[in-house]
């Protein structure tokens, strides 16, 4: 009797637990992360390892990061950890399987149509289209393999003198089918058994990062980049850098750099000015490092998974070249990985710091945090400039969503003086695309808010 009461209570508890687990996302995440922690001793150690950028040097294994080490990376606190990197490498690794998995779902859906519709699908070559799409996904996966391999190699080279950390890196390499032999990365035999590791993130961010390599480095997308870069470069050249003032110590900072096209353009246009770019997303960031250091062009099919709005299959499957061979890394460019609000420059004696933001302000959950982080840079320089270009298309659960006018008045309240503020919203003069497929039936364009402001509040 007592036994059956106890088992009923346990059963009821399990049912409540399962119901909670199924209904509550927060609870699911909490439960899963505890399970992971319980079963993975390795993650306990690696969770404490920080990844410095741009070197990908790992620090803090069984010790804490020293002030000197954290200074090296110009990101204070919240330095990304090794699991932040490895989880995202796994997300990249899954691109092919998940892409083909989606196509097989489309295949199964279409197979539900039988009889005449089924015959007509065959006659149209609909199933052949899905097979061809898989081939294109496999080609993109080939580029992704190169990005993973490049990142593993960089990790290996930057940490080869640390024996304990190299053991961790060897395990990470094995997860992707590589082993380290005599300081080189070699592929394991295809019959080797890889550990099964699954990422939790969605694949959208992987598609986005791959497409951004085209946006930033393909001639096809110069029409999207040029208007942004021209505005920023023109403002710096004619309104910030004094002609002949070679001795001025100037720093350019680009928050939310994506895969790094804008900071690269600024660093190569102004070789005497230090450029620090800061990007939060690990996927974007590894693509940024790859773009700057790989030195070979890569062919990407950025629209392959966009089934809507296509006129013909060849457009959907078409490839663009990311001309990476043209984009060498510049000595005056430091691509940093982390949260811009945790960034600080390496010195306090700059004459001028120029924040250059493109398509960034509207990513803020709390735009006041962005403003405060930008304004805090006044401590590091005599003159603080902010040049911005982009829409106000808010995402990421923003606490406030300002109009351009409100944002302008807020700048004034906080001590900024606009040298220029314009809107480009006239479609007849051309709006700005963002990863737009110009051959498709759906083409999104943005109006732009452009301003150049100087911070005049004295601390
Ligand atoms: C809309 S994208 C624009 C990327 C690039 N500026 C461009 O024009 O292609 C915004 C970028 O900001 C990054 N981002 C968002 N919040 C950030 C933060 N707090 N610190 C650094 N980067 C951030 C995102 O990961 C994303 O790559």
How does pLDDT run across 95-105, given as a tens digit for each residue?
A: 999 999 999 99
- The size of the chain, in residues, is 459
Average pLDDT over residues 209-238: 98
Which residues touch 134 (CB under 8 Å, ≥6 apart)? 99, 100, 103
Counting atoms of ligand 1 from 1, which one is nearest the CA of 364?
16
Q: Which of 211, 221, 256, 355 to mutate to test the pocket of ligand 1 (most atoms within 8 A of CB)?
A: 256
pLDDT for 44 equals 57
State the chain's mean pLDDT as an integer: 89
The verdict on the CB of residue 133 being under 6 Å from ligand 1 is no
pLDDT for 69 equals 59
Which residues touch 373 (CB under 8 Å, ≥6 apart)? 340, 341, 343
Range with lowest mean pLDDT among 59-63, 120-124, 142-146, 421-425: 59-63
pLDDT for 48 equals 82
pLDDT for 12 equals 58
| In the chain, % of residues over pLDDT 90 | 77
Checking if the pLDDT of 61 tops 70, the result is no
Q: Are 57 and 158 in contact (CB under 8 A)?
A: yes
Q: Distance between CA atoms of 153 and 160, rounded to whole angstroms?
A: 10
59: nearest Cα among 168, 221, 184, 203: 168
Helix H segments across 125-203? 126-159, 163-175
The verdict on the CB of residue 232 being under 6 Å from ligand 1 is no
The verdict on the CB of residue 358 being under 6 Å from ligand 1 is yes
The verdict on the CB of residue 339 being under 6 Å from ligand 1 is yes
Instruction: Specify the CATH number for 219-455; select among 3.40.50.620, 1.10.220.10, 3.40.50.150, 1.10.420.10.
Output: 3.40.50.150
- Quick one: 381 exposed, middle or buried, by C-beta within 10 A (0-12, 13-18, 19+)? buried
Checking if the pLDDT of 70 tops 60, the result is no
Cα of 359 vs centre of ligand 1, distance in Å, is 7
pLDDT for 11 equals 46
pLDDT for 64 equals 56
| In the chain, % of residues over pLDDT 70 | 84
84: nearest Cα among 291, 396, 338, 342: 338
Range with lowest mean pLDDT among 184-198, 299-313, 411-425: 184-198
Counting atoms of ligand 1 from 1, which one is nearest the CA of 362?
1
Q: Where residue 194 falls among pLDDT bands split at 50, 70, 90? A: low
pLDDT for 39 equals 46
The verdict on the CB of residue 88 being under 6 Å from ligand 1 is no
Average pLDDT over residues 326-355: 96
- Quick one: 174 exposed, middle or buried, by C-beta within 10 A (0-12, 13-18, 19+)? middle
pLDDT in tens, 88-130: 999 999 999 999 999 999 999 999 999 999 999 999 999 999 9
- Quick one: 274 exposed, middle or buried, by C-beta within 10 A (0-12, 13-18, 19+)? buried
Q: Where residue 1 falls among pLDDT bands split at 50, 70, 90? A: very low
Strand, helix or coil for residue 299: strand
Q: Where residue 42 falls among pLDDT bands split at 50, 70, 90? A: low
pLDDT for 202 equals 78
Q: Which of 280, 282, 434 to mutate to test the pocket of ligand 1 (most atoms within 8 A of CB)?
A: 280
The verdict on the CB of residue 341 being under 6 Å from ligand 1 is yes
The verdict on the CB of residue 255 being under 6 Å from ligand 1 is yes
Q: Distance between CA atoms of 330 and 252, rounded to whole angstroms?
A: 14
Checking if the pLDDT of 410 tops 50, the result is yes
272 forms beta bridges with none
Cα of 64 vs centre of ligand 1, distance in Å, is 29
Q: Are 443 and 437 in contact (CB under 8 A)?
A: yes
pLDDT for 254 equals 98
Counting atoms of ligand 1 from 1, which one is nearest the CA of 434?
9
- Quick one: 440 exposed, middle or buried, by C-beta within 10 A (0-12, 13-18, 19+)? middle
The verdict on the CB of residue 276 being under 6 Å from ligand 1 is no
What angle, rounded to 10 degrees, do the helices at 204-217 and 261-269 form?
A: 30
Checking if the pLDDT of 409 tops 60, the result is yes
Tokens found for residue 419 = 């040298």
The verdict on the CB of residue 85 being under 6 Å from ligand 1 is no
The verdict on the CB of residue 256 being under 6 Å from ligand 1 is yes
pLDDT for 374 equals 98
Q: Are 88 and 290 in contact (CB under 8 A)?
A: no
Residue nearest to ligand 1 atom 19, measured at CA: 339
Range with lowest mean pLDDT among 60-64, 198-202, 373-377, 389-393: 60-64
Q: Are 229 and 215 in contact (CB under 8 A)?
A: no
pLDDT for 203 equals 87
Residue nearest to ligand 1 atom 22, measured at CA: 256
Average pLDDT over residues 295-321: 98
Counting atoms of ligand 1 from 1, which one is nearest the CA of 390?
8
- Phi/psi class of residue 121: alpha, beta or left (left: φ > 0; alpha: ψ in -120 to 50)? alpha
- Rg of the chain in Å (alpha carbons): 25
The residues spanned by each domain of the chain are 2-39, 43-187, 219-455
Residue nearest to ligand 1 atom 5, measured at CA: 258
The verdict on the CB of residue 337 being under 6 Å from ligand 1 is no
pLDDT in tens, 160-187: 999 989 999 999 999 899 999 988 999 8
Cα of 98 vs centre of ligand 1, distance in Å, is 25
The verdict on the CB of residue 73 being under 6 Å from ligand 1 is no
- Pairing state between β 50-51 and 445-446: unpaired
Checking if the pLDDT of 244 tops 80, the result is no
451: nearest Cα among 401, 396, 398, 404: 404
The verdict on the CB of residue 363 being under 6 Å from ligand 1 is yes
Cα of 215 vs centre of ligand 1, distance in Å, is 14
Checking if the pLDDT of 455 tops 60, the result is yes
């Amino acid at each position: 009797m007592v036994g059956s009461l106890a088992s009923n209570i346990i059963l009821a508890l399990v049912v409540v637990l399962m119901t909670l687990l199924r209904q509550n996302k927060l609870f699911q995440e909490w439960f899963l992360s505890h399970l992971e922690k319980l079963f993975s001793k390795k993650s306990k150690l690696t969770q404490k390892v920080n990844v410095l950028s741009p070197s990908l040097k790992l620090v803090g294994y069984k010790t804490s990061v020293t002030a000197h080490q954290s200074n090296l990376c110009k990101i204070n606190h919240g330095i990304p950890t090794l699991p932040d990197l490895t989880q995202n490498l796994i997300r990249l690794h899954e691109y092919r399987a998940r892409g083909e998995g989606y196509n097989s779902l489309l295949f199964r859906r279409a197979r539900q149509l039988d009889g005449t519709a089924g015959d007509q699908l065959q006659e149209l070559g609909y199933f052949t289209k899905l097979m061809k799409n898989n081939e294109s996904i496999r080609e993109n996966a080939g580029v992704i393999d190169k990005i993973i391999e490049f990142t593993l190699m960089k990790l290996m080279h930057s940490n080869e003198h640390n024996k304990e950390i190299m053991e961790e890196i060897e395990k990470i390499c094995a997860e992707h089918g590589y082993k380290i032999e005599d300081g080189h990365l070699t592929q394991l035999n295809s019959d080797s058994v890889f550990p099964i590791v699954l990422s939790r993130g969605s694949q959208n961010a992987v598609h986005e990062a791959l497409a951004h390599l085209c946006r930033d480095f393909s001639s096809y997308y110069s029409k999207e980049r040029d208007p942004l870069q021209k505005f920023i470069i023109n403002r710096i050249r004619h309104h910030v850098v004094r002609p002949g003032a070679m001795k001025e110590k100037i720093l350019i900072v680009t928050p939310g750099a994506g895969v790094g096209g804008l900071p690269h353009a600024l660093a190569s246009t102004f070789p005497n000015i230090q450029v620090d770019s800061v990007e939060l997303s690990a996927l974007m960031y590894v693509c940024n490092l790859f773009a700057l250091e790989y030195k070979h062009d890569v062919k990407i099919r950025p629209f392959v998974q966009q089934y809507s709005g296509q006129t013909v299959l060849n457009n959907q499957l078409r490839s663009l070249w990311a001309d990476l061979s043209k984009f060498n890394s510049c000595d005056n460019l430091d691509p940093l990985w982390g949260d811009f609000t945790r960034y600080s420059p390496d010195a306090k004696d700059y004459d001028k710091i120029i924040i250059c933001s493109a398509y960034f302000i509207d990513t803020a959950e709390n735009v006041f945090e962005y403003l405060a982080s930008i304004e805090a840079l006044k401590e590091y320089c005599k003159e603080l400039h902010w040049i911005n270009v982009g829409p106000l298309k808010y995402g990421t659960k923003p606490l406030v969503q300002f109009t351009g006018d409100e944002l302008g008045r807020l700048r004034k309240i906080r001590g900024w003086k606009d040298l220029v503020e314009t809107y480009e919203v006239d479609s007849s003069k051309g709006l700005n695309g963002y990863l737009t497929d110009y051959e498709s039936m759906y083409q999104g364009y943005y109006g732009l808010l452009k301003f150049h402001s100087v911070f005049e509040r004295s601390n």
